[in-house]
A and B are shown apart, each in its own frame.
Chain A
Amino acid sequence: MKRAIVLVGGMGSGVKAISGGAPKALLKVAGKSVIERIIENLLVCGLREVVLVSDQPTLFEDVTVKYGDVIDVQVVKQVGSGIRDAILSARDMVSSASLLIYGDTLVPHEAYRMVINAYITYGRPVILVVPEEDVKLYGAVLIGEGNRVSDFIEKPSTDIDGAYAYGGVAVFDKELVETLEESSNVDEGIRKYVSRKALKAAIWSGWWVDIGFPWDILKANYYVLNELDGIKISSKASIASTAVVKGPLIIEDEVVVDHYTVLEGPLFIGRGSEISPYTLISKYSSLEELTYIDTYSEVFWSSIQPKVVVGSNSHIYLTVIGSEAVIEGNVVTAADLRKDLILRAVSSKSITLSKALLNIIKSSSSIGSKTRVRAGTIMRMNMSSH
């Protein structure tokens, strides 16, 4: 397997406010965008060519440049909309079998390997499936004897008993792509294919995030930051002598952590960010580049996209803040959150988040890109500001 096709088209209506209309594959999770994490997974798996299919190809130029030395990155303009059209936009690239990846799916690289490995073992196309209860949020896959896929529903309207969630990673071969071409949508194409030939399911039991809504970024933060080990502080960062630093964490170049600040990992602070005195940044927080946090503020399990300003005495809990947003002073998010319950639940470092915890996360707040939140705003759970 040499080539991967990554579908990065579509801005994703669920996270549009956060991303400001940019593709969701460019949203950042602990210092790297989703597409960067996907490409790094591909590198680990030994793939040397990647084709990005996007309706806004120019937005991926930075990625092309960043990885151009180590992997051949091509960007193809998506013709039409939807998954079928996106796949067909790259059909010329699928001369032999290729890895097909949804650009909004994050999994550890071992899942990619498992899929490639299954393809080689069975000699048949393979799709990754994940045992998830709420399949209607994802695609539904039904499997039969010998893990042969028996049905595929891209957008299920209800939960289906015995269905697995589509994991957003697959190995397609030319024939499968041709079958899609003859069909009007993915469901029909796969149904047609499996009625004639075997399509295998590979079952993934580790962590997996499909970024559809803001809270999915919080999930991704949890999994990615849980994999950190040790404390990595750039020699170009400046940490005040009275600051308390508890790992694991990453602090990048030119970060300033001021006096009497407490950092309680796992967390990430991106390049050029400034953390003012008397602030507390705690678990599962990811402050992307050029974040400014003013004095006496607190951040817990939140994703702060680049260039955000958080004013003095604000409390940001379980919140996703879009890039270039401004939070004025004395703002409180998730004001009614039982933080003790959450802390107890996350103390186990379990790789599967409990259902109760997921429900709490799903009612977390989000603040849109370039939004200004007025001083003194109190946001309760389930409130968003765009």
Chain B
Amino acid sequence: MCGIIGIVLQERGLLSKPLGRVIRECLKNLEYRGYDSVGFAILSDDGLIIRKSKGKIDEVVLKLSFDEFDGTCGIGHTRWATHGRPSDVNAHPHTDCEGRIAVVHNGIIENYLVIRELLIGRGHEFKSETDTEVVAHLIEDYKRLGFKPYEAFKKAVSLLKGSYALSVIDLDEPGKIFFARNTSPLVIGLGSNVKFVSSDIPAFLDYSRNVIVLQDDEVGYISKDSVIIEKLVDKNYEFDSKLPKTELVDHSLRIRYIDWTPEMAKKGGYPHFMLKEIHEQPQAVANTITSISNELEDIVKLISKADRVLIVGSGTSYHASLIGSLLFNEMANIKAHAIISSEMRWFVNSVDDEDVVIAVSQSGETIDTLLAAREVRRRGALTIALTNVIDSALARESHLSIYTRAGPEIGVAATKTFTSQVVTLTYIAIKLAERLQTIPEGRLSDLKSEFRELPSIMSAVVSVSEPKARTLSSLISMRQSMYYLGRGLGLPTSMEGALKLKEVAYIHAEAYPAGESKHGPIALVDEEFPVAFTILGDEADLILSNVEEMRARGAWTLAVMPKGFDKIYKYFNYVFELRRLPHELAPAAYIVPYQLIAYYSAVARGYDPDKPRNLAKTVTVV
């Protein structure tokens, strides 16, 4: 996902600040769509000014002094790299050979290799590895054939396959921004003296509230006097010199007035980011599975040879680390331990060059994890970063990196990044078992095929659990305290469930190994004390005695467990019955009811789950 913006002003200085600053503010509002590199292009009296760099918006803006550039027409881009690393060259805008055309793009142009080859054959020189750059050269090529700039743009667009939202400025047609949309979102904003084209409405809501939502296959331009929208009616994808057929679109009836705040606009059809991200998990996990499938051979080989594997993380990432360490031990007989990042310093004396350390951090900037990774690297260990942000500090400072593809996560409480971390570590465990032949062939292939099913299983779990979690929240929201008990992989799942409830609903929640609960915690249990049990599979019989202990004290019991355990159903006051999975794969699916319980309990108590008090998304202080 990326964010694009284009702005045309009636005359210079109308918004009483330089255009560069307006572009910066708009991009800041699109930051939720990506933030690993930023750039802009402004048409000024001196020609086309382009500034771009990798890095977060606030840093890049200072470095490239966005705020000082002024003009009447400009485009900007904020990038979230999915394929190909963030770099200054790969940052948008991209230009043609002469530097007269600047293009920003969101989406993926599927046939860019074909076009690129063709254009190279025709003498074009490419600077980046991106798919976007072909658009600039393609327009340039048609201009050389005698097309006017806007015609060349339309012709170029008609040749593109894939998804795109495009904004283009051309020195030969100053004062206009060309745009086109297919699949990727694009909207137009109409202010009194200013017009916008953008990936999303929040970008320009401070300046304009009249909006036109563009539809697929629409192209056009904004200028200081007009908005032109045309529909491409037949795309024949022929590299000929015929103008593509278009029909003019009457957009006067499509102008809508938006009266809500930018914050609401970004959430799509959800009341909160946390709920949106819970629902995005199947997609996030599917994307992660697809991308890691091709990348991990070497890493698996290195881990399999390690004397010992340490997995370090903080908060939710620590819980994912615990799941990883249990799976490595159980499935591949590897000596693996999970350690909390901030506690790592007391373990480092034994770390040496025979060890592999996997450092887990959603942002890749968590300072505790970063410090731990630095220290073990200094002592010779091989370090592997597992993070959601490409080229983040942790990734840069580690020997190797693995990326989850959860997309940007806005809610402070981690949800989709947790499940993406868990499936990544699970995948590594499966690969290790395959390599070391620690699991019989038949069972391994069962695991692999069920693993591929995880996204659809998680999707069903969300639907089945959500109404129940909402009902249950009315009860839990009235409690002051709650236990989450489990054994084996059910324990880190319980720990993550308890953390979510603490984080967003501010209810004291404690997770404990079920068998350990009688050695202390049970002293607190009395009438109606809620206790949740995580049951993933065959440990059910063992847990049952713990359930009995709790019930004997009057506890109110809840279970998240597989279907088909009818015998023990009656021991619980409330049950989330989920599809039975091999227990190795269950945590990613069985955490979902707990995420939903935490979310709905927060809502029931009147708290904003997206902004829990005292917490920040990324912890960069020790």
Contacts and interface: CB of A to CB of B under 8 A. Distances in A.
A205 B470 contact: yes
Given A163-B463, A203-B269, 6 more contacts: A117-B268, A117-B269, A131-B600, A147-B279, A162-B460, A351-B606
B474 interface: yes
Contact of A121 (B215, B268, B478): B268
Interface stretch (B259-267, B513-521, B580-588, B613-621): B259-267
Nearest to B274: A205
Interface in B243-281: 253-254, 256-260, 264-265, 267-272, 275, 279
B468 interface: yes
B269 A45 contact: no
A345 B474 CA distance: 9
Contact of A205 (B253, B264, B460, B603): B603
Contacts of A350: 473-474, 477-478, 604-605
B16 to A, nearest CB: 27
Contacts of A45: 259
Interface string A88-127: 0000000010000000000000100111011011110010
A200 interface: yes
Contact of A132 (B256, B467, B477): B467
B185 interface: yes
Given A46-B259, A162-B460, A351-B606, A131 B269 contact: no
Interface string A190-227: 00000000001111111000000000000000000000
A300 B589 CA distance: 44
B41 interface: no
Nearest to A142: B463
Contact of A349 (B200, B253, B469, B606): B606
B474 A113 contact: no
Interface of B: 185, 187, 200-201, 211, 213, 215, 253-254, 256-260, 264-265, 267-272, 275, 279, 282-283, 459-460, 463-464, 466-471, 473-475, 477-478, 599-600, 603-606
Contact of B271 (A110, A144, A201): A110
Interface string A119-148: 011110010000111010000001111110
A147 B269 contact: yes
Interface residues of A, number: 48
B474 A126 contact: no
Interface of A: 1-2, 45-46, 96, 110, 113-115, 117-118, 120-123, 126, 131-133, 135, 142-147, 161-165, 200-206, 345, 348-355, 357
Contacts of B603: 205-206, 351-352
A203 B282 CA distance: 16
A123 B201 CA distance: 13
Contacts of B466: 131, 164, 203
A122 B269 contact: yes
A1 B269 contact: no
A145 B260 CA distance: 27
B477 A200 contact: no
B251 to A, nearest CB: 12
B264 A117 contact: yes
Contacts of B471: 133, 352, 354-355
Contacts of B459: 144-145
B600 A205 contact: yes
Nearest to B605: A350
Contacts of B213: 120, 123
A199 B50 CA distance: 41
Contacts of A201: 269
Nearest to A344: B478
Contacts of B464: 161-162
A146 B474 CA distance: 28
A45 B185 CA distance: 23
Of B215, B271, B603, B606, the most chain A CB neighbours within 10 A belong to B271
Contacts of B470: 131-132, 205, 352
Contacts of A133: 467-468, 471
Contact of A353 (B215, B271, B474): B474
Nearest to A354: B474
Given A114-B270, A205-B275, A120 B258 contact: yes
B268 A122 contact: yes
B260 A113 contact: yes
Given A117-B264, A352-B474, A200 B467 contact: no
A292 B275 CA distance: 46
Nearest to B455: A145
29 contacts: A1-B256, A45-B259, A46-B257, A96-B253, A113-B264, A114-B269, A118-B268, A118-B269, A120-B201, A123-B215, A131-B466, A131-B467, A131-B470, A131-B600, A132-B467, A133-B467, A133-B468, A143-B463, A144-B459, A146-B283, A147-B279, A202-B270, A204-B271, A205-B271, A345-B478, A350-B473, A352-B471, A352-B603, A352-B604
A117 B275 contact: no
A145 B284 CA distance: 12
